Amino acid sequence: MPTLVHLKPDVILVPGLMRSGASMTAVADAAMACGHRIGRFTYTRHDAPAVIQARLQQIIRESRRPVVVVGHSYGGLLAVSACRHSSVTQRVRGIVCLGAPLRGSERARWLAGFRAGRTLLDASAELLCDGLDYPRVPAKIAMIAGERPHAVGRLVRTLDGPNDGTVRVAETAWPGLTEHVRLPVTHQGLLTDRRVLAHLQAYLSTGSLLGDAGVSARAA
C-alpha cells in the first residue's frame, strides 16, 4: 500500500473573483491527464477572505492525500494566505499561482476609487488592493505570470510595464516564490493556454514548473 508521501497529490482549484469552478476546466483536465484527483473550490465576492480561507484550510486538513493548490488571480491570493499556517502546509505539496497579484493589484485600487467599483469588489477589496505581507510561508509557491495585455484591459485602464491586461507582472513577483515564470498570455489565457498547462503538468510531475525538458519559457 503506498504511503502518504508516495500518493499523487489531490489538486484543489481556486478560481478568480466572480469566476466559477468551470473557468478552470482546462486546468482540471490537464491535472487529471496526469492522474490527479481534482477538487473544485468555490466562493462568492460577498464572502470575507477569512471565511474563505478557513473553509479552504478545513478541506486541506481533511484531505486523505497530499494537496497541490492551484489558484487563478484572486484565488491565488486566497490560496497563499490560507496556507501560511504550518498545520495546513503539512499536507500541502505546493501552490501554483496563475496571475495572482500577491503584492496587491493596481487595477483593484483603481476600481476601489469608484462606488460601483467598491460594490463590484465587495469583500475582496482589501486583500486585492493591499496584497499579502511577507511572513515566510512553509510551502513551495510557484507563479506563472502573463505579459500579453488584451484589448479590453487597455481600454479600461492602461497598466504600466509588462502585464496580462489585468495584473502587472511586478504585482506577481512576491518575495516568497520558489519559481516565477512569464509567458506571452492574457489573464484569461492563463487558464487555457497550452504552454501554461504544460508548465502545470511539469510541476505536478516534478515539483518544478520547468521540470520537463520539453517545457521552455522565460523565467523572471
In degrees and rounded to multiples of 5, residue 144 shows phi and psi of: -115, 120
List of domains in the chain:
4-219 (3.40.50.1820)
Which amino acid appears at position 70 of this protein?
A: V
Helices 74-82 and 49-62 meet at what angle, rounded to 10? 60
Contact 188, 121 (CB under 8 A): no
Q: Per-residue confidence of the chain (220 residues) as pLDDT tens digits?
A: 444 556 799 999 999 998 888 899 999 999 999 999 999 999 999 999 999 999 999 999 999 899 999 999 999 999 999 988 777 888 999 999 999 999 999 999 999 999 998 888 998 999 999 999 876 777 899 999 999 987 454 445 578 899 999 999 999 999 989 999 999 999 999 999 999 999 999 999 999 999 855 555 444 4
Contact 82, 56 (CB under 8 A): yes
Closest Cα to residue 189, out of 208, 163, 212, 160? 163
Whole-model pTM: value is: 0.90
